[in-house]
Structure 1
């Protein structure tokens, strides 16, 4: 929001500078026209008046010209100040743009870090599942081993039972 306001301020300052430049150009043209008109007028007056009248008129023209020149110089100084302010605003805008770009890069990096975190969690879950599978396989092997031992005991017990009932001769055949 602030950067948009600053951009607007810079644009407004540039408009003012352009407007002031036009006014300076117009003032220069008016001053030139005034000087030409005054000079023509003075020439006409000098030629028609006495020498003393001509001197007075010349002094008036010089005074008027000096006043106009002073006003013009003051206006030029104001234009330079506005141009400097516009450049400062432009630099500030560029700085804000760079700051926005850096913030955008930080957000991208944060997103990448989150994605890597999710990936790591998925790998951890996968490792946990593999561990659970291995544990289950070990339990199955232990169960099979226990079951096999029980079967062998039953077979051995049943052989002994038969031997006791029927004697060793049956099994030795």
Structure 2
């Protein structure tokens, strides 16, 4: 999540050096973090203890809820209605017009029972290569009647991310 500079309070390293308590008071008053700039670049964020602890608690709660949500039996895709149901289930996890880490995307879809061109020994580079070559990622789910059911994710690699390989999902299509 990124904020515009005007959406949150800001301060400079110089101001922090002069009076760190003033920055904490600003954070407490605005009930948010204060972006600290050093030479026009964000160096960090100052939070009050209360805000930090509430963020950690919220994160812990979300992680606990995530562990509770386990797909034990993905819906069978034996008909158009089941295909639509599965597509809606996938769309709750993978939202079009968003950026997602390739590894996380692959894990979520394999949790639903889909398989991709990547195998256990290949990294996500295989998926990125498929995306660069075809402009899409294809995930296949075997149906009860033996006919494959596929989901195509149309998108492109997000080159702004430097540490984690991410892609921008533009569309999710169902292929029977």
For the criterion TM > 0.5, the same-fold answer is: no
TM-score by length of 1: 0.26
Identify the structure with the greater helix proportion: 1
TM-score by length of 2: 0.26
Identify the structure with the greater strand proportion: 2
| Structure number with higher relative contact order (C-alpha < 8 Å, ≥ 6 residues apart) | 1
Question: Whose Rg is larger?
Answer: 1
